Amino acid sequence: MGRRIAILSSSEEMVEFGKNIGSQILPGTILALTGDLGAGKTTFVQGLALGLDIHDPIQSPTFVYLNSYAGKYPLFHFDLYRLKGQDDFLALGFDEFFMSNSICVIEWPERIATLLPKETKHLSFEYIEQGRKVVIS
Protein backbone atom coordinates (compact mmCIF):
# COMPACT_ATOMS: atom_id res chain seq x y z
CA MET A 1 0.00 0.00 0.00
CA GLY A 2 2.90 2.45 0.54
CA ARG A 3 2.43 5.80 2.31
CA ARG A 4 -0.72 7.56 1.16
CA ILE A 5 -2.94 10.38 2.33
CA ALA A 6 -6.65 10.50 1.59
CA ILE A 7 -9.00 13.41 2.26
CA LEU A 8 -12.58 12.20 2.56
CA SER A 9 -15.48 14.62 2.87
CA SER A 10 -18.31 12.22 3.76
CA SER A 11 -19.14 8.86 5.30
CA GLU A 12 -19.94 7.59 1.82
CA GLU A 13 -16.45 8.49 0.64
CA MET A 14 -14.98 6.73 3.70
CA VAL A 15 -16.96 3.58 2.86
CA GLU A 16 -15.78 3.71 -0.78
CA PHE A 17 -12.19 4.23 0.38
CA GLY A 18 -12.44 1.15 2.61
CA LYS A 19 -14.15 -0.84 -0.13
CA ASN A 20 -11.34 -0.05 -2.56
CA ILE A 21 -8.72 -1.25 -0.07
CA GLY A 22 -10.80 -4.33 0.77
CA SER A 23 -11.02 -5.34 -2.88
CA GLN A 24 -7.21 -5.31 -3.18
CA ILE A 25 -6.08 -6.54 0.24
CA LEU A 26 -4.30 -9.86 0.63
CA PRO A 27 -4.83 -12.50 3.31
CA GLY A 28 -2.49 -12.15 6.26
CA THR A 29 -2.78 -8.35 6.27
CA ILE A 30 -3.00 -6.58 9.61
CA LEU A 31 -4.36 -3.05 9.71
CA ALA A 32 -3.87 -0.90 12.83
CA LEU A 33 -6.36 1.97 12.96
CA THR A 34 -5.70 4.98 15.18
CA GLY A 35 -7.75 8.11 15.72
CA ASP A 36 -10.21 9.75 18.08
CA LEU A 37 -13.65 8.33 18.80
CA GLY A 38 -15.88 9.07 15.82
CA ALA A 39 -12.99 9.73 13.43
CA GLY A 40 -14.27 7.17 10.90
CA LYS A 41 -12.48 3.94 11.84
CA THR A 42 -15.60 1.76 11.98
CA THR A 43 -17.03 3.42 8.85
CA PHE A 44 -13.79 2.52 7.07
CA VAL A 45 -14.15 -1.11 8.26
CA GLN A 46 -17.71 -1.17 6.88
CA GLY A 47 -16.30 -0.34 3.45
CA LEU A 48 -13.38 -2.73 3.84
CA ALA A 49 -15.89 -5.51 4.54
CA LEU A 50 -17.85 -4.68 1.38
CA GLY A 51 -14.61 -4.98 -0.59
CA LEU A 52 -14.20 -8.45 0.92
CA ASP A 53 -17.75 -9.43 -0.13
CA ILE A 54 -19.02 -9.26 3.44
CA HIS A 55 -22.53 -7.89 3.62
CA ASP A 56 -23.24 -8.44 7.33
CA PRO A 57 -23.74 -5.26 9.35
CA ILE A 58 -20.36 -4.11 10.69
CA GLN A 59 -20.48 -2.59 14.14
CA SER A 60 -17.81 -1.53 16.55
CA PRO A 61 -17.00 -4.54 18.75
CA THR A 62 -16.18 -2.25 21.72
CA PHE A 63 -17.97 -4.38 24.30
CA VAL A 64 -16.74 -7.77 23.09
CA TYR A 65 -13.21 -6.93 21.80
CA LEU A 66 -13.66 -8.95 18.58
CA ASN A 67 -16.18 -9.49 15.81
CA SER A 68 -15.51 -11.96 13.01
CA TYR A 69 -17.01 -12.06 9.54
CA ALA A 70 -16.87 -14.54 6.63
CA GLY A 71 -16.19 -13.23 3.14
CA LYS A 72 -13.58 -13.53 0.40
CA TYR A 73 -11.18 -13.80 3.37
CA PRO A 74 -12.14 -13.98 7.03
CA LEU A 75 -12.22 -10.55 8.67
CA PHE A 76 -11.38 -10.18 12.36
CA HIS A 77 -12.29 -6.73 13.70
CA PHE A 78 -10.74 -5.93 17.08
CA ASP A 79 -11.62 -2.93 19.22
CA LEU A 80 -9.18 -2.76 22.10
CA TYR A 81 -10.46 0.49 23.65
CA ARG A 82 -11.43 -1.28 26.89
CA LEU A 83 -8.45 -3.67 26.97
CA LYS A 84 -6.18 -3.06 29.96
CA GLY A 85 -2.98 -4.06 28.18
CA GLN A 86 -1.12 -6.51 26.03
CA ASP A 87 -1.07 -9.20 28.75
CA ASP A 88 -4.87 -9.40 28.48
CA PHE A 89 -4.60 -9.63 24.68
CA LEU A 90 -2.17 -12.55 25.00
CA ALA A 91 -4.25 -14.25 27.70
CA LEU A 92 -7.25 -14.19 25.36
CA GLY A 93 -5.13 -15.86 22.63
CA PHE A 94 -5.80 -13.04 20.18
CA ASP A 95 -2.19 -12.95 18.97
CA GLU A 96 -2.87 -16.27 17.17
CA PHE A 97 -5.12 -14.38 14.71
CA PHE A 98 -1.99 -12.61 13.40
CA MET A 99 -0.74 -15.92 11.97
CA SER A 100 -3.85 -16.76 9.95
CA ASN A 101 -4.80 -16.27 6.32
CA SER A 102 -7.31 -13.62 7.27
CA ILE A 103 -7.56 -9.87 7.54
CA CYS A 104 -7.10 -8.41 11.03
CA VAL A 105 -8.25 -4.88 11.70
CA ILE A 106 -7.37 -3.42 15.10
CA GLU A 107 -8.89 -0.28 16.54
CA TRP A 108 -6.88 1.22 19.44
CA PRO A 109 -3.74 -0.77 18.53
CA GLU A 110 -1.60 1.31 20.89
CA ARG A 111 -2.83 -1.03 23.65
CA ILE A 112 -0.70 -3.80 22.08
CA ALA A 113 1.89 -1.79 20.16
CA THR A 114 4.83 -4.07 20.96
CA LEU A 115 2.89 -7.17 19.83
CA LEU A 116 2.09 -5.91 16.34
CA PRO A 117 4.07 -7.62 13.58
CA LYS A 118 6.48 -5.31 11.73
CA GLU A 119 4.52 -5.67 8.47
CA THR A 120 1.39 -4.15 10.07
CA LYS A 121 -0.12 -1.34 7.97
CA HIS A 122 -0.96 1.72 10.05
CA LEU A 123 -3.91 3.97 9.21
CA SER A 124 -4.32 7.20 11.14
CA PHE A 125 -7.77 8.87 11.07
CA GLU A 126 -8.06 12.58 11.83
CA TYR A 127 -10.78 15.23 11.78
CA ILE A 128 -10.02 18.12 9.43
CA GLU A 129 -12.09 21.04 8.14
CA GLN A 130 -12.88 19.20 4.87
CA GLY A 131 -13.99 15.99 6.67
CA ARG A 132 -11.50 13.26 7.52
CA LYS A 133 -7.86 12.72 6.70
CA VAL A 134 -6.49 9.18 6.56
CA VAL A 135 -2.75 8.58 6.47
CA ILE A 136 -1.64 5.07 5.52
CA SER A 137 1.92 4.00 6.33
Tens place of pLDDT per residue across the chain (137 aa): 468 999 999 999 999 999 999 999 999 999 999 998 889 999 999 999 999 999 999 987 667 899 999 999 999 999 998 898 899 999 999 999 998 899 999 999 999 999 999 999 999 999 999 899 999 99
Tell me the C-alpha to C-alpha distance, in Å, between residue 72 and each of 3, 24, 69, 97.
25, 11, 10, 17
Q: How many domains does the chain have?
A: 1
Residue 57's SS3 state is: coil
The half-sphere exposure of 107 on its side-chain side, counting CA atoms within 13 A, is 26
Backbone angles phi, psi at 126, to 5 degrees: -145, 140
User: Is this model's pTM higher than 0.85 or not?
Assistant: yes
Interacting residues of 85 by C-beta distance below 8 A, sequence separation 6+: 111, 112
β-pair partners for 133:
7, 126
Domain residue limits at 49 = 4-136
Beta strand pairing call for 75-79 and 103-107: parallel
Q: What is the CATH number of the domain that holds 75?
A: 3.40.50.300
pLDDT of residue 62: 66
Give residue 109's identity as a one-letter amino acid code: P
Q: For residue 15, how far is the Cα from the chain centroid? A: 13
Q: Phi/psi class of residue 105: alpha, beta or left (left: φ > 0; alpha: ψ in -120 to 50)?
A: beta
H or E element, residue 32: strand 30-34
